[in-house]
Chain A
């Protein structure tokens, strides 16, 4: 008798499974499939995971996250019209390629996913700035190059910031002060050079950007390069710009964009992406929490969803609120 029960329960399990799966399919019919480009840095992974959860549970979509990077994602959209949504798009790094897509109507800018935006610039560890307050300006750094270890840690080839930093190095004539420019091969070595210098309390000077895990983890101070000058900065963004002038980095706009087709076929979801913005400070503290708990991006998303229902309930429409009422009512 017991055996029979076991077999029958196994059978029910087998038959129940496809039924459950098709029920889910029925739900997904309304919204269909959405592909979102997931950039390979922490803030982007967290954002996309939050969006995935809310869209799947609230709107009944089937969301696939496509691992990508700024330029490949844009190119893919330009050539294939996929993925549907690109978020955490750094406008300064995407450059003309993206603007072209906006101009010819392939992509539509939905929102700034971070408010006010990302920070980028040249940094030193805060303990260095405390020890030698002069180092907080570029003139001070160039006067005492040995205090920062005689080295400027530059961006890898192929990054938007590399062009800007290369031009700035020429504009400042940085190498005449005895600082050698070290061109990193990848973002990983740039981050680990900063990490190992800071954990050993050694001097470090180089480019970095935020909000990122290293920026949340290490206490860094920005080196003032001068004032931000729109025209000068625009010039700095062209490779080998003639006669570059010094300008500090502006706050970087970080966008969510979608293809035009997507905005037409998915009005409700487009509305969601238009509303989904994070305060930069909130994202920084999320990333700090991630580092503290050694959590995965998915767990950070869960943490955000459980802790901040008031924030994300403002992003979603009424039917989604109903679907997620169990979470909201707590």
Chain B
């Protein structure tokens, strides 16, 4: 005797309800009722909300909420092949980029990779202090035999952060120039930031072979792209109105205004977005280890699964120092951009 039996009887739908009856698995509640003996009528206090499951108890023709999730699954599987035809070739370059980058970073000997890193650090920061810091950190990681994993992690971050900037900056610029686009994109960004990463990993696992690097590549990019888009949009919108007016007075076309005035003035904000994007890629690399991303995250997972505290701690420490290095380098580069603007 279910709570809402009376409702369907009163509406004269009983025949329709029983017509759709099929054998569904018995639920724990039914079994408990059977054990206790006889149908107990629920007290008013325990009246269930008229949810799909509660209505199903009274009227078998109404689907259970399980059928809803099953329907979603079936629908997704039906469009999967079409999605695959479109998305697979589109994302294939990401797989190649990740594979090649991983290969290059792990197969080039350390005595080439390390000087290259130091040179890049010097070029973007012009600060011996920071080059020294990077040298100490990479040296330390190599010393405790985490060099290979650290390089894999860095390779993934470089590729993903690069893709984020390539895609994210134009989206941000477009958003800053169209209020309507901004209204559409901001909720999407909010969603990407708040959804637990595993929620969008699930459809990805169904779409692509799990052995493809792009599976974790896409997961990282979706998560890390948000700050660069947001801050590009914000940076351009924050450019002083007087400056724009002056540019208008000079008769600049909107293209000239964008590339000659707005983007250079917004650069500090954009760079702050890039910095955040890099940090978020690093955070996501650990989670992406669950879908077979190589690197330090694997060691963290092993530490958790086997409770090898030492392995987990060292890998976690490796991630922290990598984060420090990346953060310092991008912050120093950012400071240089700010300084060069102050001089202008």
Contact = CB atoms under 8 A, between A and B. Distances in A.
Do A and B originate from a single complex? yes
Interface of A: 9-10, 12-14, 16-17, 53, 57, 69, 71-72, 75, 151, 156-159, 182-186, 188-189, 192-193, 196, 293-295, 298-303, 305-306, 324, 326-327
Interface stretch (B10-18, B95-103, B173-181, B288-296): B288-296
A305 B27 CA distance: 11
Interface in B163-207: 205-206
Contacts of B32: 57
Nearest to B287: A185
Interface stretch (B105-113, B150-158, B240-248, B297-305): B297-305
Nearest to A78: B307
B209 A193 contact: yes
Interface in B13-68: 24-28, 30-32, 34-37, 43-46, 66
Contact of A53 (B28, B45, B289): B28
Contacts of A182: 211, 292
Interface in B97-155: none
Contacts of B209: 193, 196
Given A196-B206, A295-B25, A185 B305 contact: no
B34 A185 contact: no
Contact of B27 (A9, A156, A299): A299
B324 interface: no
A157 B301 contact: yes
Contacts of B288: 185
B307 A75 contact: yes
Contacts of A12: 43
A320 B298 CA distance: 47
Given A158-B301, A192-B205, A326 B37 contact: yes
Contact of A72 (B70, B205, B307): B307
B68 to A, nearest CB: 12
A302 B43 contact: no
B129 to A, nearest CB: 37
Nearest to A58: B35
B252 interface: no
Prevailing SS type, chain B contact patch: helix
Given A183-B292, A185-B289, A192-B205, A298 B28 contact: yes
B306 A71 contact: yes
Interface residues of B, number: 37
A192 B206 contact: yes
Contacts of A71: 305-307
Nearest to B208: A196
Interface string B278-291: 00000000001111
Given A16-B43, A157-B305, A193-B209, 11 more contacts: A10-B44, A69-B305, A182-B292, A183-B298, A185-B292, A186-B292, A188-B290, A196-B210, A293-B25, A294-B70, A326-B37
A13 B301 contact: no
A212 B32 CA distance: 27
Interface in B263-290: 288-290
B30 to A, nearest CB: 7
A13 B25 contact: no
A188 B289 CA distance: 12
Nearest to B198: A188
A157 B302 contact: yes
B291 A185 contact: yes
A305 B30 CA distance: 12
Given A53-B31, A302-B31, A185 B26 contact: no
Contacts of A183: 292, 298
Nearest to B36: A326
B43 A17 contact: yes
A196 B81 CA distance: 12
B89 to A, nearest CB: 18
B45 A326 contact: no
A71 B44 CA distance: 45
A14 B46 CA distance: 9
A10 B45 CA distance: 7
A158 B306 contact: yes
Residue of A10, A157, A300 contacting most chain B CB atoms (<10 Å): A157
Nearest to B69: A294
B155 to A, nearest CB: 16
A72 B210 CA distance: 27
A17 B291 contact: no
B133 to A, nearest CB: 30
Nearest to B47: A13
Contacts of A294: 66, 70
